[in-house]
């Protein structure tokens, strides 16, 4: 995004600087005290074997180096990448499909827009509990529906199974998160001037060609931001998955945020958890940079 | 196939997809509401019961009764409103500063706002816990307000900046010629024009606060200060899960956001899309 300022007057440069600082300072100070300082503190304790109370043993880069040889960490990381890939792909598939369908005038459009926005309004905790109930092996509605459709013959424990819990969790995360992508894309589409489509139509472009050559380029800035934020937010996902499975069964849904949380608050290995957190931050930062490069070059 | 046939086919196709996917959204929600009005025994019916018979209000009575969720709802409201006020105030000031003045470090400041989105919240929770313990603000709603404000202020500022950018600077100039100070221009000229932007940011912060779970569960362990999300999740870890009570509490906790959405749909959408679209 551009950060160009509108320059007012030229002779009072110093004064100008100060006024800018004065307005920005409350937000900047809040962030320095409450974001940068805690991050720096986290960085600091990542060099210690510490329980934050009475044990402070300096270990240097040990936890960072260890992370790459410790299965707990790198397996959790790989799992999180797979999770992120499917969740974001699901969001964008539904997001594109629905925003395309809803971007035309038809009877019931507002109704459907409201319906499809609903999952966004529900707290992650509520959605997690609701789907835990829906997927309940004994009394859950999911098994009942699938049985009545003849798709399964006996009850299935969705979240209790090592092979089904992961896809089940991905499904719920797609369910929760697609409205954001849908709405972003929809707003982006509505900002594309209609005469571009008219011109394309005159040139004989099919609907699919129009989508590829008018819609997608027009959406580029929105796509860029949405893709970065959606990926990073879901890479860090904690609440929904924690509430549904707690990372289990076994470690099959143990995402990196859950691993870090457990390392800190169950094992009280705060230094190790902090080091892992820093690595996750670096990964998220790299994800955003890689997207930036890839999307710009096209 | 003629053109009208084709467009009829397209319309049918559209409705089939919309209704199919719509059911995937609506059925779980209806199941939540349906369960909320059931008695305990009905939740364990071997065949699914969609319309509770008899309709039971017990779970809703328990919400304010033995579960004491009324208190937690108030706590959630207080923290949401508190953090919202801080975020709106700070982000308006910062957005005005960024869009109206030139100063060193502005670019870094704007980049930093987006970079904060990369910080894993699970990473911040350890330092927050350590710092708040030191200043005795754990088990304190003020502590939670500060944490929510801190975690939301960056993105709020980012959203607000893109809104302030749409307000023409000519207005500032005119007021300046009339002798207004910077703060007067901000307060009397620009701010009244940014109400939609403020609404969007306010909704964004309210929503995040209302839904937040991790910080609240770590920083608060006294019942008197717990927030609603933490209270509801705690129902899941009891020996016997009362699904009807849990679904009733879940339904109630969704109501404020749905009401807010129905009244402020336009701002909600603006809040969701943030600064992404206008840039």
In a 13 Å sphere around the CA of A229, the CA atoms on its Cβ side amount to: 22
Domain end point (choices B56, B79, B100) = B56
Same domain, B20 and B81: no
Q: How far apart are the first and last CA of chain B?
A: 42
Please report, for chain A, how many H helices and E strands are present, in that order.
Answer: 14, 2
Whether the pLDDT of residue A32 is over 50: the answer is yes
pLDDT class of A8 with cuts at 50, 70, 90: very low
Same domain, B21 and B89: no
pLDDT at B75: 92
Check CB contact under 8 Å for A125 and B214.
no
| In contact, A174 and A119? CB cutoff 8 Å | no
| In contact, B217 and B230? CB cutoff 8 Å | yes
* Cα-only R_g, chain A: 24
CB neighbours (10 Å) of residue B243?
25
CB contact B177 to A (< 8 Å): no
Same domain, B71 and B204: yes
Q: What is the pLDDT of residues A115-133, one digit of tens each?
A: 998 998 899 999 999 999 8
| Mean pLDDT of the residues in chain A | 85
Same domain, B214 and B120: yes
The conformational region for residue A34 under phi > 0 = left, psi -120 to 50 = alpha, else beta, is: alpha
Residue at token pair 């620009």: B190
Cα separation, A288 vs A236, in Å, equals 13
Same domain, B166 and B224: yes
pLDDT class of A84 with cuts at 50, 70, 90: very high
Check CB contact under 8 Å for A144 and B47.
yes
pLDDT at A6: 45
Chains A–B, number of C-beta pairs less than 8 Å apart: 293
Distance from CA of A167 to the nearest CA of B (A): 16
Where is A48: in which H helix or E strand? strand A48-50
Find, among B250, B235, B243, B241, the residue nearest to B42 by Cα.
B243
| In contact, B132 and B219? CB cutoff 8 Å | yes
Check CB contact under 8 Å for A119 and B25.
yes
Mean pLDDT of successive 10-residue segments in chain B (279 residues)?
A: 79 91 93 85 77 78 80 92 95 91 86 82 81 84 91 89 85 86 88 86 89 90 88 81 86 89 76 56
Check CB contact under 8 Å for B103 and A270.
no
> Which of the residues A15, A77, A93, A126 would you substitute to probe the B interface, choosing the one with the greatest number of B C-beta atoms within 10 Å?
A126
Which residues fall within 8 angstroms of residue A197, CB to CB, at 6 or more apart?
Answer: A210, A214
Residue B165 in any domain: the answer is yes
| In contact, A218 and A99? CB cutoff 8 Å | no
Nearest CA in chain A to B42: A139
Where is A49: in which H helix or E strand? strand A48-50
pLDDT at A172: 95
Residues from chain A that touch B135, judged by Cβ atoms under 8 A, are none
Residue B172 in any domain: the answer is yes
pLDDT at B26: 93
Interface of B with A in 56-115 (CB under 8 A): 86, 89-91, 93-94, 96-104, 106-107, 109-110, 112, 114-115
> Which of the residues A14, A38, A142 would you substitute to probe the B interface, choosing the one with the greatest number of B C-beta atoms within 10 Å?
A38
Same domain, B119 and B80: yes
Residue A48 sits at φ, ψ, to 5 deg, of: -120, 145
Distance from CA of B88 to the nearest CA of A (A): 10
Domain end point (choices B56, B73, B88) = B56
pLDDT class of A211 with cuts at 50, 70, 90: confident
Same domain, B98 and B140: yes
Which residues form the domain of B170?
Answer: 59-273
Residue B279 in any domain: the answer is no
Structurally, chain B folds into a number of domains equal to 2
CB contact B244 to A (< 8 Å): no
| In contact, A188 and B277? CB cutoff 8 Å | yes
pLDDT at A15: 63
Cα separation, B111 vs A89, in Å, equals 26
| In contact, B201 and B191? CB cutoff 8 Å | no
Check CB contact under 8 Å for B213 and A45.
no
Burial pattern A26-48, b for ≥16 Cβ within 10 A else e, equals: bbbebbeebbeebbebbbebbbb
Q: Which of A106, A260, A281 sits opposite B119 (nearest CB)?
A: A281
Check CB contact under 8 Å for B118 and A281.
yes
DSSP assignment letter at B51: S
Burial pattern A183-194, b for ≥16 Cβ within 10 A else e, equals: bbbbbbbeeeee
pLDDT at B275: 56
Whether the pLDDT of residue A7 is over 50: the answer is no
The angle subtended at Cα A8 by Cα A4 and Cα A12, nearest 5°, is: 115
Domain end point (choices B56, B76, B96) = B56
Cα separation, B33 vs B247, in Å, equals 7
Distance from CA of B99 to the nearest CA of A (A): 6
Distance from CA of A209 to the nearest CA of B (A): 17
Residue B201 in any domain: the answer is yes
Residues from chain A that touch B45, judged by Cβ atoms under 8 A, are 139
Angle (deg, nearest 10), helices B3-36 and A124-134: 90
Where is A56: in which H helix or E strand? strand A56-58
Quick check: ipTM above 0.85?
Answer: yes
Which residues fall within 8 angstroms of residue A93, CB to CB, at 6 or more apart?
Answer: none
Which residues fall within 8 angstroms of residue A37, CB to CB, at 6 or more apart?
Answer: B127, B131
Nearest CA in chain B to A192: B277
Same domain, B141 and B16: no
Same domain, B130 and B181: yes
pLDDT at B271: 63
Where is A50: in which H helix or E strand? strand A48-50
Check CB contact under 8 Å for A21 and B97.
yes
Hey, is A180 helix, strand or coil? Answer: helix
CB contact B20 to A (< 8 Å): no
Instruction: Give CA A242 to chain center in angstroms.
Output: 15
Q: What is the pLDDT of residues A130-167, one digit of tens each?
A: 999 899 888 888 888 888 888 888 888 888 888 889 99
Q: What is the largest CA-CA distance in chain A?
A: 81
Find, among A73, A45, A72, the residue nearest to A59 by Cα.
A45
Cα separation, B91 vs B155, in Å, equals 9
Same domain, B12 and B144: no
CB contact B209 to A (< 8 Å): no
Same domain, B52 and B63: no
Same domain, B153 and B249: yes
Residue A55 sits at φ, ψ, to 5 deg, of: -120, 115
Residue A49 sits at φ, ψ, to 5 deg, of: -90, 105
| Percentage of the residues of chain A whose pLDDT score is greater than 70 | 94
Report the CATH number that the domain containing residue B148 is assigned in CATH.
Answer: 1.10.3720.10
């Amino acid at each position: 995004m551009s950060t160009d300022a509108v320059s007012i007057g030229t002779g009072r440069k110093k004064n100008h600087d100060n006024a800018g600082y004065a307005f920005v300072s409350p937000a900047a100070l809040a962030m320095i005290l409450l974001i940068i300082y805690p991050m720096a503190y986290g960085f600091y304790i990542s060099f210690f074997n510490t329980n934050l109370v009475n044990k402070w043993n300096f270990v240097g880069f040990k936890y960072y180096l260890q992370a790459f040889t410790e299965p707990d960490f790198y397996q959790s990381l790989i799992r999180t990448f797979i999770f992120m890939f499917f969740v974001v792909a699901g969001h964008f598939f539904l997001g594109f499909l629905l925003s395309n369908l809803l971007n035309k005038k038809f009877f019931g459009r507002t109704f459907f827009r409201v319906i499809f926005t609903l999952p966004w309004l529900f707290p992650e905790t509520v959605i997690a509990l609701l789907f835990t109930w829906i997927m309940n092996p004994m009394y859950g509605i999911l098994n009942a529906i699938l049985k009545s459709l003849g798709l399964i013959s006996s009850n299935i424990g969705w979240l209790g199974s090592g092979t089904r819990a992961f896809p089940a969790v991905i499904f719920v995360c797609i369910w929760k998160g697609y409205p954001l992508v849908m709405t972003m894309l929809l707003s982006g589409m509505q900002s594309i001037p209609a005469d571009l489509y008219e011109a394309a139509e005159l040139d004989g472009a099919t609907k699919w060609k129009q989508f590829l050559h008018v819609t997608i380029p027009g959406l580029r800035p929105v796509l860029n931001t949405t893709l970065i934020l959606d990926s990073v937010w879901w890479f860090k996902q904690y609440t929904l998955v924690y509430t549904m499975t707690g990372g289990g069964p076994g470690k099959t849904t143990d995402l990196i945020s859950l691993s870090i949380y457990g390392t800190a608050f169950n094992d009280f290995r705060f230094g190790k958890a902090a080091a892992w957190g820093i690595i996750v931050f670096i990964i998220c930062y790299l994800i955003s940079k890689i997207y930036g490069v890839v999307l710009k070059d096209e | 196939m003629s053109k009208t046939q084709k467009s009829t086919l397209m319309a049918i196709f559209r409705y089939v997809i919309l209704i199919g996917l719509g059911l995937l959204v609506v059925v779980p929600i209806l199941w939540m509401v349906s369960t909320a009005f059931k008695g305990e025994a009905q939740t364990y019916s071997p065949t699914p019961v969609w319309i509770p018979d008899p309709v039971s209000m017990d779970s809703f009575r328990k919400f304010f009764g033995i579960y004491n969720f009324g208190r937690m709802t108030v706590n959630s409201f207080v923290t949401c409103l508190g953090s919202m006020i801080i975020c709106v105030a700070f982000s308006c000031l910062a957005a005005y500063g960024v869009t109206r003045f030139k100063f060193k470090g502005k670019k870094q400041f704007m980049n930093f706002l987006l970079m904060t989105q990369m910080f894993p919240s699970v990473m911040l929770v350890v330092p927050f816990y350590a710092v708040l313990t030191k200043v005795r603000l754990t088990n304190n709603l003020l502590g939670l307000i500060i944490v929510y404000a801190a975690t939301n202020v960056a993105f709020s500022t980012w959203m607000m900046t893109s809104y302030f950018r749409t307000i023409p600077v000519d207005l500032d100039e005119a007021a300046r010629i009339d002798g207004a100070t910077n703060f007067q221009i901000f307060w009397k000229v620009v701010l009244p024009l940014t109400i939609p932007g403020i609404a969007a940011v306010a909704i964004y912060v309210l929503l995040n606060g209302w839904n937040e779970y991790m910080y609240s569960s770590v920083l608060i362990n006294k019942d008197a200060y717990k927030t609603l999300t933490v209270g509801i999740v705690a129902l899941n870890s009891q020996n016997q899960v009362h699904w009807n009570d849990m679904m009733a509490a879940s339904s109630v906790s969704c109501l404020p956001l749905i009401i807010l959405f129905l009244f402020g749909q336009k701002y909600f959408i603006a809040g969701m899309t943030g600064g992404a679209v206008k840039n």
